[in-house]
Structure 1
Amino acid sequence: MSERSFEGKAVLVTGGSRGIGAAVARRFGSLGAHVAVGYRSGRDAAEALCAEIGAAGGTAVAVAGDVAVPAQAQAMVGRAHDAFGRLDVLVNAAGVGPYLPLAEIDEAHCRAIFDTNVLGTIMLTQAAAPLLPSPGGRIVHFASRLAFNPLPTSSVYSASKAAVVTLVHGFARELGPRGITVNAVAPGVIETDMTADILRERGEQILAATPLRRIGQPDDVAGVVTFLASADAGWVTGRTIIADGGLN
């Protein structure tokens, strides 16, 4: 992949204002892409990231919306397309992941997780598919290693990410004849503000069990995402890439 391999292409990164999503947006900007940074509530962080990408010579705009609300998910895709006159790549890094033990799971917990992680995946894909180039369009969603190996109390979140794995496989079959690839990345524990408590409580245990003997960083995942979005990955579709340093 060359330093400007996404020159002139337009990318929407939902959940792009923080953590892994911000690293993905930053990486696409450095590779020459026009980046729409999707966010739900982190307006200041999204605009600061856009300014950072712009200062580095890139182009970025902030796009607000809640992927759990179908109309807003569709509008985010439309605004990203309108901002740059095209849309080549959709990266859906938006997600929520509160954990609860079985005895405390209720309808609100299930709906909050499934509306964002599953319904959002469906609605974003549906909205982006007609706008992506055919052939050459790229869609990358986020699953989790917990889809394959759930922890106690993570059951609902893990199930939502297992649904993403299945959706990616199914959508890849539907969109394959148009030359559009659909894949997912399933990270393990990555060092972000959202995992601070996990790393504080179990960091040494995770480190000891990880063959690469370090905690994953957002840039580790960003590299996998940009590969899946690149021309080099044109023969990869319907797949979920586990990026966890060999832990799973």
Structure 2
Amino acid sequence: MLTLPDLAGKAVLITGASTGIGAALARAFGAQAAKVIVHCNSSPDAAEAVAADIRAAGGEAALVRGDASKSTEIARVVEEAASAFGRLDGLINNAGAMVARVLYENMTDDYYDAVMDLNARSVVVASKAAIAHLKKRGGFIVNTTSVAARTGGTAGSGVYGSSKAFVGAVTKGLALEFGKYGVRVNAVAPGFIETPFQEKYALPGQGEKVAAAVPLGRPGTAEDCVGAYLFLASAAMSGYVTGQTIDVNGGQFMP
């Protein structure tokens, strides 16, 4: 892996870091000698295993737990993360879920609230809480959106896709507001990535259909996503990049 010296010593909070893309990111930032704050909610054992891997490789890691769908909890998570190493230099808003596959015609207010609170509101609240710390030295926010934000999703994932489209718009709005602090805000939009998320929510045969259709001929892996986040986190690599979304989907969708 390419070494990015400007990430060394930076304190980075990664939400939803116990499995999948978040776990791969936590290990990757640890390998860059960043101080990684691993956030989890329902999978503390998996999160502790990620933190243990970082420490075993010679890195520094702390663990914070809280429900990202609850504003008071995700704000607390940010404050605990900033306290863990006495600073906060980067925030990766990665926590999210489809919650369930529900068609628009069957949608309820409770379902809508559950999806939007977790995937959309959490990004706004965490970023609001983080900016007080990030603006001290300049820093970065990288949000995780989705190919579903570009396409509308598949059957039953429309509300999820809409919540991720919200994240894409919020990324631009935050970039406009936070630029004056030297804080860059960007996003990554993964496509079909083989993670526990897809194991839980993918339609039957969806992975095979993606593999047959995308130019690169296979679904993605969590590790395929890492480079885009590291690029956007590194001021040396992307210091004049803000308000942008990088698609990581093997050509599944080309905007």
> RMSD between aligned alpha carbons?
1.4
In the alignment, the residues of structure 2 paired with residue 90 and residue 114 of structure 1 have an alpha-carbon distance, to the nearest angstrom, of: 19
Post-superposition offset of 1:136: 3.0
Whether 1:234 and 2:235 are equivalent positions in the alignment is no
Whether 1:205 and 2:206 are equivalent positions in the alignment is no
Q: Say which of 213, 216, 219 aligns to 2:220.
A: 216
Counterpart mapping for 1:83-102 below 5 A: 83-97=84-98, 98-102=100-104
In the alignment, the residues of structure 1 paired with residue 149 and residue 6 of structure 2 have an alpha-carbon distance, to the nearest angstrom, of: 32
Which moved further from structure 2: 125-134 or 27-36?
125-134
In the alignment, the residues of structure 2 paired with residue 168 and residue 239 of structure 1 have an alpha-carbon distance, to the nearest angstrom, of: 8
In the alignment, the residues of structure 2 paired with residue 229 and residue 86 of structure 1 have an alpha-carbon distance, to the nearest angstrom, of: 16
Counterpart mapping for 1:146-157 below 5 A: 146-150=148-152, 151-157=154-160
**Aligned residues between the structures:** 248
Report the equivalent of 2:44: 43
Counterpart mapping for 1:1-248 below 5 A: 2=3, 4-97=5-98, 98-134=100-136, 136-150=138-152, 151-196=154-199, 198=202, 201-231=205-235, 232-248=237-253
Structure 1 runs, 4 residues or longer, greater than 2 Å off: 1-5, 133-136, 196-200
Post-superposition offset of 1:193: 1.7
Q: 8 Å contact 1:4–1:30 — kept in the other structure?
A: no
Q: Which runs of 5+ in 2 are unaligned?
A: none
Post-superposition offset of 1:200: 5.3
Q: 8 Å contact 2:97–2:115 — kept in the other structure?
A: yes
Identical amino acids, percent of aligned pairs: 43
In the alignment, the residues of structure 1 paired with residue 135 and residue 58 of structure 2 have an alpha-carbon distance, to the nearest angstrom, of: 25
Post-superposition offset of 1:195: 0.9
Post-superposition offset of 1:135: 5.3
Q: 8 Å contact 2:145–2:167 — kept in the other structure?
A: yes
Give the TM-score, by structure 2 length: 0.93
Alpha carbons of structure 1 residues 200 and 103: separation in structure 2 relative to 1, 3 Å: closer
Letter paired with 1:196: E
Post-superposition offset of 1:5: 3.9
In the alignment, the residues of structure 2 paired with residue 216 and residue 223 of structure 1 have an alpha-carbon distance, to the nearest angstrom, of: 13
In the alignment, the residues of structure 1 paired with residue 231 and residue 138 of structure 2 have an alpha-carbon distance, to the nearest angstrom, of: 13
In the alignment, the residues of structure 1 paired with residue 204 and residue 158 of structure 2 have an alpha-carbon distance, to the nearest angstrom, of: 22
Q: Which runs of 5+ in 1 are unaligned?
A: none
In the alignment, the residues of structure 2 paired with residue 102 and residue 73 of structure 1 have an alpha-carbon distance, to the nearest angstrom, of: 28
In the alignment, the residues of structure 2 paired with residue 214 and residue 200 of structure 1 have an alpha-carbon distance, to the nearest angstrom, of: 16
Match of 2:132, SS state, is coil
Which moved further from structure 2: 38-47 or 196-205?
196-205
Alpha-carbon deviations, 1:70-120, whole Å to 9, x = none?
A: 111111111111110111110011001122112321111100000011110
Match of 1:216, SS state, is coil
Which moved further from structure 2: 123-132 or 90-99?
90-99
Post-superposition offset of 1:178: 1.1
Q: 8 Å contact 2:4–2:234 — kept in the other structure?
A: no
Letter paired with 1:192: T
In the alignment, the residues of structure 2 paired with residue 148 and residue 188 of structure 1 have an alpha-carbon distance, to the nearest angstrom, of: 10
